[in-house]
Structures are given as C-alpha cells and as structure tokens.
A and B are shown apart, each in its own frame.
Chain A
Amino acid sequence: MVGSMDVPAKGGFSFDLCRRNDMLEKKGLKVPGFRKTGTTIVGLVFADGVVLGADTRATEGPIVADKNCEKIHYMAPNIYCCGAGTAADTEAVTDMVSSQLQLHRYATSRESRVVTALTLLKTHLFSYQGHVSAALVLGGVDCTGPHLHTVYPHGSVDTLPFATMGSGSLAAMSVFESKYKEGLTRDEGIELVCGAIRAGIFNDLGSGSNVDVCVITKGKTEYLRNHELPNPRTYASSKGFSFVQGHTEVLSTKITPLKPKPEVTVGDAMEE
C-alpha cells in the first residue's frame, strides 16, 4: 500500500488490492453491484452473410432504465457486435476495439477482418480476468467469408453457426435449436432472428421493448433499427385528445399583458 506502487502499471489487471478486498469482504463489507443490461442478443450465419439481433431494454435492477437503447455496436463497416452484461463495459470495449480497427485499416489499407476484432476483444477481456463484464456476439463478413463468434467476459471465444447471449439466451436458443438449418435465405434469417429475440422479450424479464436487426453481407451492411415493435403503447388513443372550447365552464377571465422585452442591440464581440 505504501512505497511499492511507484512504478505505473504496464497494463492488464493489477492484483495489488485483492488481499485487502478479501479481508474487507470477510469483515462484512458489502461490495457494490454493477448495472447490467439484462438482454437477449443473437446472431446467425445464413447463406450470404450474418444476421445479428438484439432487444432494446436496459435495466437497473428491477427498473427499466432505457426502453429503447442500442445494443448492436459498430466495429467496422463490415463488422458489428452485440453486447450483453454491464452496459458501460460493452460500450467501452466495443468503442475501443472499433478505434483500434480503424487505425489498423489506415495502416494496412485493407478491409478489417472479423478475427482481428475477435483477437483484440479476447486479449483485452482476458487480461482483466472477467472483471470487464462484457459478453459479446461478434459477427461480420470479410474477404474470408462470413463469421460469427461469441466472446465471454473471461476472454474465451466460440465460433458458431448460431449464438445467443444474455439473460434471455435460453429462450432465444430454444427457438434457434428447433428451427435453424444451414443455407437460410436473407428473409428466413431475419425472421428466425426476430423470432428468437421475441422469445427473449416475452419470456425473459430482463429483455423487452423492440427488436433491432443488423444484416451483414459482402459489401453491404443494413442496420435495421427497431425492425419490429411488438410492444406498442395500446392505451393511448391514436387520434389524440381534442379539448374543444366550451367543454369546461369558464368562471372568470383575467388578462395580464407581459412587459415588452427590452431590445438587445448587437454590440462588440466579447474579448476572450
């Protein structure tokens, strides 16, 4: 705690305070929790590329913090990443790797590859030993073809034809496992992804609101924000409410004219 911390850390997780934290926890300190997104995110590979999907609910414990947040993050023009877990962690990590990919593109003059993003993400997450709570579904199409990967908070990765993550992953996976087949068309892929996200929205409390979809094919990416809105506000009248004069009885009327605003003449610019 004193003296041994003169050299700044070179990167990766610093274990200096772990013993002190353990001691504090044993003495009864309650460790503060993290804000999680409570999510359903999915991805699948179809004939010409990948389709990514996500719900749009962000939760703070039992409260819905954001009804329409964006969980599909931009990594490169041909690579997108869905994020589950702690919202700050997924945002920061995808932003960081997206910047690194851009710099790499400038240096190499080539389109980014999905495995590059994958390696950057997994080495970062592994070096933080699971403390960066980001569970990601990374998908994209590059010169070697379409790729879909999952990245876990501790840094392990999987390469899969279809993947789900987040609290609604079991509901979404049940849809995928029963209906996925190889060589789906674009529309079939989108329909299956929407079905899986809807299963998460309606069967998992941590997921809800709308369905975002992102379709990536060779040379073309379509980000379909709010592709489906299965939870419309049904109690508000679509015609609006009209309050005609005469519906409410007027008891008395008093009109007070406001003082006229003084004219502001254009003066000299402020001295810096």
Chain B
Amino acid sequence: MDACGTQAAAAAAGGEGTQRTLYPYVTGNSVIAMKYKDGVIMACDTGASYGSTLRYKSVERIKAVGKHSLIGGSGEFSDFQEILRYLDELTLSDHMWDDGNSLGPKEIHAYLTRVMYNRRNKFDPLWNSLVLGGVKKGPKGDEKYLGMVNMIGTHFEDNHLATGFGNHMAIPILRAEWREDMTFEEAIKLIEKCLLVLLYRDRSSINKFQIAKITTEGSTIYPPYALKTNWGFSAFENPSKGAVGTW
C-alpha cells in the first residue's frame, strides 16, 4: 500500500498536515444481522485483509456496546477501533450520569449516524459500514432494534441487514426466508446458510465465524467456529470428461 503517495497527495491537495482517508488499508468483511424472537443475532467472519493479502485471521468485528446493543463493523478496521473508542467515551459519560437510564440501540445508532455523516462532510470519512442491533425495554415492551450506517451517512432500520458483499448474496436469502419470531436455533441455521454462501463466493471470506446475540438478559459473543463446506460435486472431479484435452 502506498503510504508515501497518500501523504504526497494530501500535501499537494492543499495545506500541510491535512489528513484525509483516501482509501482503506486493512478491511473487514461482510456482517450479517437479523431480528429473531428474543432479540437480535449478528454474525461475521474473523478475518481482516490488507489489500489482497489475508493479514489477520482472529479479529473480533462484533462488540457489545453498553448494556443493550451490539455493533458489527466492516470496512477499515482502524476506523472501527476508533469508533469503539468513541462509543466507550459515550457509554462512560452516560454511566456517570448515574440516573438509572442507559443508552439504548436507537440512541447509539443516532449517535453513530451523526458521527459518520459529519466526518463525510469534512471529506474525511470513517471508512466503515456499521450494523447496530439491540433490545431495550420501551413503552410497548421489549423493543428489538436493528439499524445500519455506512461511510457516507446513509442509515436505515430493517428486520435483517448485511454489509459489503452480503448485500448481494445474503440479502436475497434473508428476504425469501426470514420470518417474524424465529427461534434461536432457526435463526442460527438461516445465518449459517448466508455465511456459507459468502464463504463460497466472496474471495476475502475465511472459514472462521463468530456469532453474537443480544437479548434482554444481555449480550453473548460466542467463540469462533468453522462451517462444514462441500466441494465434492462429481462434476468438479473431471470437467473435461466429455472432451479430453479441452480447457
């Protein structure tokens, strides 16, 4: 990656010491999330690539935020870590109010939207697509929340979300097969279906996934595990069987 070129470009762009994110270096993969009966489930793989090299293989891209939320991030990993620091400050000062109230997922999503949009307006974006999910007791009982913000500040809520390549490969499956009030086991099966498709067809995906869930009891981030893949189609074994010598 051309670090010297970035600085030269920044200096040439005008004003010394101007720092702008021009392109991402270490990038995380897709994140998939969906609501289910007891709360929100989120999953992603644990890899971070440095361009076309698979540099880090044990990276946690889903973190708990406060008591009620989970955040998952894809895109530039250093920007994701910076966002986690901002959220730490936010939850800390919220805790120090000591007023019995705590920030719910909707509030944190709104905060992140402001942060991302303002950085984009300064032409110095945080190069991420973030998924924010959680459950909090509201006036109508336990309200599940799932929202997304990306690097230009586009934000929305939905019953199921995906970032990056997941938009093209996981969302069609989720749109066809997601139902209201899925049990935890059904939700895991559906998410694993999406993760497997991404593993087969996204070149930067690795076979090491983490699933996290958040319910009214709190958040749980499960240890990483691998999915079983099937490469044994008989058609793959000898593709040129019909015409020897072809390519």
Contact = CB atoms under 8 A, between A and B. Distances in A.
**Interface of chain B, main secondary structure:** helix
A147 B193 CA distance: 28
Given A114-B242, A115-B243, A199 B235 contact: no
Nearest to B173: A174
A165 to B, nearest CB: 14
A194 to B, nearest CB: 12
A238 interface: no
Contact of B201 (A114, A119, A170): A170
**Interface of chain A, main secondary structure:** helix
Given A159-B235, A161-B233, A161-B236, A174 B242 contact: no
Interface of A: 45, 113-115, 118-119, 144-145, 147-148, 157-161, 170-171, 173-175, 177-178, 182, 195, 199, 202-203
23 contacts: A115-B242, A118-B243, A118-B246, A119-B243, A119-B246, A144-B242, A147-B242, A159-B235, A159-B239, A159-B240, A159-B242, A160-B239, A170-B168, A173-B197, A174-B173, A174-B197, A177-B200, A178-B173, A182-B234, A199-B176, A203-B171, A203-B172, A203-B175
Given A115-B243, A177-B196, A202-B175, A170 B235 contact: no
B221 interface: no
A147 B241 CA distance: 10
A10 to B, nearest CB: 25
B178 to A, nearest CB: 13
Nearest to A171: B172
B247 interface: yes
Nearest to A115: B243
B169 interface: yes
A114 B240 CA distance: 12
Given A161-B235, A161-B236, A178-B193, A173 B201 contact: yes
Contact of B242 (A145, A158, A161): A145
B34 interface: no
B62 interface: no
A174 B194 CA distance: 8
A123 to B, nearest CB: 12
A174 B169 contact: yes
A175 B172 contact: yes
